[in-house]
């Protein structure tokens, strides 16, 4: 229960998500979203290059 309220507070203060909206969302998905960092969003350039090569005819 404490983890949920702390996440709800973080969403309200940092993301401006109303508690009523936060409570409607899937808890585990919201936790996953709140835990993402910039490092998680980075992609290996070589992997990206390989993916792009596979898509070429």
Residue 34's contacts (CB-CB under 8 Å, 6 or more residues apart) are: 7, 10, 11
pLDDT tens-digit map of 39-54: 777 778 888 888 888 8
* pLDDT at position 50: 87
Give the torsion through C-alpha atoms of 27, 34, 5, 25, to 10 deg.
-30
What is the structure's pLDDT at 17?
A: 87
């Amino acid at each position: 229960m404490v983890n949920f309220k702390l996440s709800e507070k973080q969403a309200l203060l940092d993301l401006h998500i109303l508690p009523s909206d936060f409570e409607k969302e899937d808890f585990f998905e919201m936790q996953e979203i709140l835990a993402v960092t910039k490092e998680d969003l980075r992609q290996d350039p070589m992997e990206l290059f390989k993916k792009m090569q596979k898509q070429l005819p």
